[in-house]
Amino acid sequence: MGVRGLQGFVRSTCPHVCTVVNLKEMAEHHLSRHPDCTPTIVVDAMCCLRYWYTPESWICGGQWREYFAALRDFVKTFESVGIKLIFFFDGMVEQNKRDEWIKRRLKNNREISKIFHYIKSRREQPGRNMFFIPSGLAIFTRFALKALGQETLCSLQEADYEVASYGLQHKCLGILGEDTDYLIYDTCPYFSISELCLESLDTVMLCREKLCESLGLRVADLPLLACLLGNDIIPEGMFESFRYKCLSSYTSLKRNFDKKGNVILAVSDYISKVLHLHQGEKKLEEMLPLGPNKALFYKGVTSYLLPGQKSPWFFQKPEGVTVLDKQEISMSSDPESKQEIPICTEPESNQEVLMCAGPDSEEKVLLCADPELKEEVPICADLESKQETPMCVDSESKKEVPMCINPESKHEVPMCMDAEPKQEVLMYMDPEPKQGVPIHADPEVNHKLPIGTDPKCNLEAPMCVHPEVTQEDPMIMGPEIKEQVTMVSDPEILKIARNHHVHAESYLVYNIMSSGEIECSNTLEDELDQALPSQAFIYRPVRQRVYSVLLRGCQDGTSTAYPVVKEWFVYPGNPLRHPDLVRPLQMTVPGGTPSLKILWLSEEPAVQAQRLDILLSCFNLSSSREELQAVDSPLRALCCLLIYLFIQVDTLCLEDLHAFIAQALCLQGKSTAQLMNLQLEYINPRAVQLGSLLVRGLTTLALVNSACGFPWETNEFMPWNVFDGKLFHQKNSLGSTCRTSENAEFWAGHQRSWLTRFHNLKAVVCKACMKENRRIVGRTHWNSHHTVLNPVSGPTELPPVTVMRKLSNGSQTLPLLDRPSDLPWSLLCRLQL
């Protein structure tokens, strides 16, 4: 994260930039100067997850009760010295950072492969140098902090921008995180979480003013330096040749510095000696080799400008010039590139729309200056068509709408029109299948889509443009955006969803309803294990039913098709070149499905019952309602999840069920210290994957529960109440070495109350599975010839039954496979049924 090479440069080359400070003393000093203001630190929570996760064991699915205790100690330490903490989490991935997100996910895949290879060869957990955070850690950390009474916020854009904005606007004591972008933002002081000593509250403060002094720059120059070095928006290779030229002409090379250190010094020297000389006389594109990357470069620089800030590197509009509606004012004309950069201003929105182009493309790229984000957003550009993008003017709204031209057919593509808001939505037309495909969708991926995706479904389902709802919350950092394109048109419902999202009360609901695009990061899954499918496929039918709940009513007047949702889910074999286009799955709910307004707002007891009906329908478990209602909290949600898992995946056996139930029961009587002292004889790679699979199921429960109006209390599916990684591993390992699987004492201990509950929970799950013709059998009943030869861990037993059931809907199943190992899971789960 952050600026390439800057972290190491500061540590090794400019140690005086790092100053050891005591946060308690700084808070006391702050309080003496501002007696009416509580010292506040804004925390970039995503940067702190590794620091917070202190349990020794991380491979088994997570030591959640230990983790919760560590968070509680962290919060109490700051409260004891009078420091208030505000926690920010990433709420969505911005499109201009999607490539970087994909790059990191693919790198994580390689790390996970090494982890499983290590486990299979040594049967133990790797060292901390291979540490990988447990699945779902970021999601459940939000809920944990809220349970601890902390103000927890989820971003509507990149979290670091909102963290920096909040810190500046609220005059916070500082920012706690681990991202060099906080050295670039002109905001409050930046403290390192990795250097924090919780006992003394000593840490390192990184001073941007001292960094500028070392580099001969001004604070306003740092965004320019960051983009020339490369960051999450500007690829590192974009200006590689420019940096090499700077390095070649730099006369003060330090022999004891590494290459990256000298590059930073050389680029800084060029800015201070060359660019400063012509600042105000020439535009950046005349002094830097921006070429066709000019729009992206300007966007990268402006992404660091917080509300109310301006860059001295950007020309301002000439004084005394009146800008009329839709009239263009030429701001620059480069005789070499033969291109103009006009400004178009709309009086209604008070937004400037910048047109710019690369010297070779002979086209104009439309940029929208977003007053809230303070950055320019590219709207539409065809980099290959060599032509300007036409605009369609709506006669009633008097607004221009971009249209996209297919470079092969040369035809303008009509966009989806919503009669109510009178606004069109950009679609890209593929000439072969003759259907609208969202931008970035590759026609070649049609035959490779996993189950749940439909290459022939109507992808032109309309999105809605409506005035953004006015709402007072800490996320609004600047002037309000006047219009927003969303999947759902009801402003009241969107306001509720947005509020739940911002205050970290829901999971993925607002992303689905606003952009129709969600993502899920890496999970500890063994790509070589063909016996267990990826969690992305197992829980996809649940997500599809959730989409039908949230997007119901989004169809246009001529079609009943739902809009598709773009899923960026990481699973073995997925190169992440494109999102999976997943359509909602309609379901039958007893009594029908009420509108979201009734589902979310009504306090009638009948509606509360409907909420539970819809939740169970999302898991296709309506027939098990009575059995689940008889289960006490907090094990009711776990039972729901186990029933779904064992119906879906036939490779789960009776011993797995016993282990899941036994660990949940035993967890109720264990202290945090007892869990910490629990020792494992060895690590089983299959149990590792099962632990992660269950935790991902708990995150899916969080999505369903929030989409259905919260029929269950959140603590019912928090992992520290129902799951412990080492405890599950212990029970699962015992089941692998002992054949007394029918003896409940073996699994749940000798306490009579636990034995009774063990039998009851097992009966609930088995009875529900039998209703779906799923008989859960033990490993001793498996035929020995159904095995998969694993080159590392040896043979893995597989049952001679349907490998995965009801994958795409409630009635279809995969065909019976005599040898399930003949087909890899990545192929099995992609079969269109």
Within its chain, how far is the Cα of 797 from the centroid? 35
Q: Which of the pair, 18 or 589, is modelled with greater confidence?
A: 18
Q: In the numeric block, which tokens belong to residue 627? A: 């059995």
Q: What pLDDT score does 182 carry?
A: 95
Nearest 5°: phi and psi at 550? Answer: -80, -30
Q: Is the pLDDT of residue 514 over 50?
A: yes
Rounded Cα–Cα distance for residues 697 and 645 (Å) = 9
Please give the pLDDT value at position 83.
Answer: 97
pLDDT digits 0-9 by tens, 792-826: 333 444 433 334 444 433 333 333 333 333 334 44
How many angstroms separate the Cα of 257 from the Cα of each of 180, 247, 417, 488?
Answer: 19, 13, 59, 54
Calculate mean pLDDT across residues 697-703.
97
Q: Are 215 and 224 in contact (CB under 8 A)?
A: no
Tell me the pLDDT band of 114, cut-offs 50, 70 and 90: very high
- In degrees, rounded to 5, the angle at the alpha carbon of residue 285 between the alpha carbons of residues 283 and 286 is 70
In terms of Cα–Cα distance, which of 523, 529, 565 is closest to 548?
Answer: 565
Please tell me the CATH superfamily of domain 1-92+124-215, with its number. 5'-nuclease (3.40.50.1010)
When pLDDT is cut at 50, 70 and 90, the band that residue 284 belongs to is confident
How many angstroms separate the most distant Cα atoms in the chain? 89
Q: What integer pLDDT is reported at residue 560 of this predicted model?
A: 57
- Min mean pLDDT across 57-61, 337-341, 459-463, 685-689 is at 337-341
Q: What is the pLDDT, as a whole number, of residue 315?
A: 60
In this structure, how many other beta carbons lie within 10 angstroms of the beta carbon of residue 790? 17
What tokens does 254 get? 């330090």
- φ, ψ for residue 793 (rounded to 5)? -100, -5
In whole angstroms, what is the distance from residue 822 CA to residue 353 CA?
56
Which parts of 534-639 are beta strand (E)?
A: 565-569, 580-582
Residue 661 has pLDDT above 50, yes or no: yes
Q: Which residues contact 259 (CB under 8 A, 6 or more apart)?
A: none
Q: Which of 113-122, 491-500, 652-661, 811-820 is predicted least confidently?
A: 811-820
How far apart CA 147 and CA 149 sit, in angstroms, is: 5
pLDDT of 344 strictly over 50: no
With residue 116 as reference, give the H or E element that holds it. helix 98-122
Distance (Å, whole) CA 644 – CA 768: 9
Confidence category of residue 555, pLDDT binned at 50, 70, 90: low
Show the DSSP H helices in 591-743 as ranges. 596-601, 605-618, 625-629, 635-648, 654-667, 672-677, 685-707, 719-722, 725-737
pLDDT at residue 513, as a whole number: 95
List the structure tokens of 573: 């074999």
Per the model's pLDDT, the better-predicted residue between 13 and 644 turns out to be 644
Beta bridge partners of 566: 517, 581
pLDDT of residue 256: 55
* Contact between residue 807 and residue 541 where contact means Cβ atoms under 8 Å apart: yes
Note if the bond before 126 is cis, omega within 30 degrees. no
Is residue 755 scored above 80 in pLDDT? yes
pTM: 0.76
Q: Which pLDDT score, from 0 to 100, does residue 816 have?
A: 31
Look at the alpha carbons of 213, 215, 216, 221 in this order and tell me if their dihedral is positive or negative: negative
Give the mean model confidence (pLDDT) for residues 233-252. Answer: 84
Break the chain into its structural domains and give their ranges: 1-92+124-215, 217-314, 491-772
pLDDT at 356 > cutoff 50? no
Distance CA(797)–CA(819), nearest Å, equals 11
> How large is the angle between the packed helices 45-52 and 64-80, nearest 10 degrees?
110
As a whole number of angstroms, the distance between CA 558 and CA 60 comes to 50
Provide φ and ψ at 74, rounded to 5°. Answer: -60, -50
Plot region of 410 (φ>0 → left; ψ -120 to 50 → alpha; else → beta)? left
| Burial status of residue 100 (CB atoms within 10 A of its CB: 0-12, 13-18, 19 or more) | middle
Average pLDDT, the chain: 76
Residue 510 has a pLDDT of 96
The residues near 84 (Cβ < 8 Å, ≥ 6 apart) are 38, 39, 40, 41, 78, 151
Which tens digits make up the pLDDT trace of 159-212?
Answer: 999 999 999 999 999 999 999 999 999 999 999 999 999 999 999 999 999 999
pLDDT tier at 324, thresholds 50, 70, 90: very low
Of 419, 458, 423, 452, the closest CA to residue 438 belongs to 458
- pLDDT (tens digit, 9 = 90+) per residue, 761-797? 999 999 999 999 999 998 876 544 344 333 333 344 4
